Amino acid sequence: MPMIETVNLTKKYGDFVALDNLNLTIDEGTCFGFIGPNGAGKTTTIKILATLLKPTWGEARIDGKVVGYQNSMIRPLIGYVPDFMGAYQDMTVSEYLEFFAACYAVPSSKREKTISEVLTLTDLTHKTQSEVNGLSRGMQQRLAVARVLIHDPKVLLMDEPSSGLDPRARIEMRELLKELRRIGKTILISSHILSELADLCNAVGVIEQGKLVFAGPLSDLMARAKVGRVIQIAVEARAEEAATLLRGVKGVFRVDLVLEEGGKRIDVQLEPNAEIAASELAARLLAQGFRLARLQPEEISLETAFMRLTKGLVS
């Protein structure tokens, strides 16, 4: 069942088009990674879904309810975590969560138990009496997540939640998000740390200049980014000669020499429908007296797929 939908969603600021007819569907329980260059439209999309911005035209829906027309029904369903939370002077963690529990109309009889549960989930129980503005950046981000969990929303909208965090804090945030995914939350998360999204999300969307380039399962993105298979080969000597030999093989589209620690690697890109096997490339080299140090298919990472799609290398 779709939990988040946009139909021709467009946002203009004067003549500048921040979002250009965005059509997106995110099913219930999905952890959806939203990636794109700075200024691509990620934050604009999230703010519209969070009912903080009005679209110029088009429609956005949360659980079937239309943003801009049913905001009072949408806001109890969502939790919005911006990339940076403001400091609350002289307010302790406990007071901070008590304040937002009241804002979300959590009954006073249930507040203590609810706050205790979200503090446990976000591993902040030991910071209950600490002042918010005295917390580390990582703990403030976890507190921001605790805040939006107070009213048990169905949907979490998270804009760069790992921005500015040190390595340990990023790992802790990732594990927290995995736990939220496990308990069934629908999560839309934007991030520049693509390796973390690959480990966390089961679907991704790529946006560039306000237009959606791709949306779907992570495996489909990886497959689409493979513009023909790439075989990585290392020989013990005479890499340039080996590369010249391979360029003449039928079915080979391109051969590149890549510097790496210990020598040069040969990247052989095959034509999309080439029937040649990696073993045939090895046989050609061995027949000419080359000794192989390595032969393996290229592993497509989320970073590689993103760069290829946003540079227009895949139609």
- The model's confidence at residue 231, banded by pLDDT at 50, 70 and 90, is confident
What's the rounded mean pLDDT across residues 38-50?
93
CA–CA dist 280, 65 (Å, integer): 57
Q: Mean pLDDT score of the chain, rounded to an integer? A: 88
| pLDDT value at residue 300 | 66
The class of domain 2-219 in CATH terms is alpha beta
Residue ranges of the domains in the chain? 2-219, 227-299
Q: Do domains 2-219 and 227-299 have the same CATH topology?
A: no
What's the rounded mean pLDDT across residues 91-120?
94
CA–CA dist 213, 215 (Å, integer): 7
What's the rounded mean pLDDT across residues 76-103?
88
The position carrying tokens 């290392």 is 234
Strands 16-27 and 31-35: unpaired
CA–CA dist 232, 298 (Å, integer): 6
Where b means 16+ CB within 10 Å and e means fewer, 162-188 reads bbebeeebbebbbebbeebbeeebbbb
Q: State the CATH architecture for 227-299.
A: 2-Layer Sandwich (3.30)
pLDDT at 315 over 50: no
> Which tokens in the block code for residue 185?
């939350």
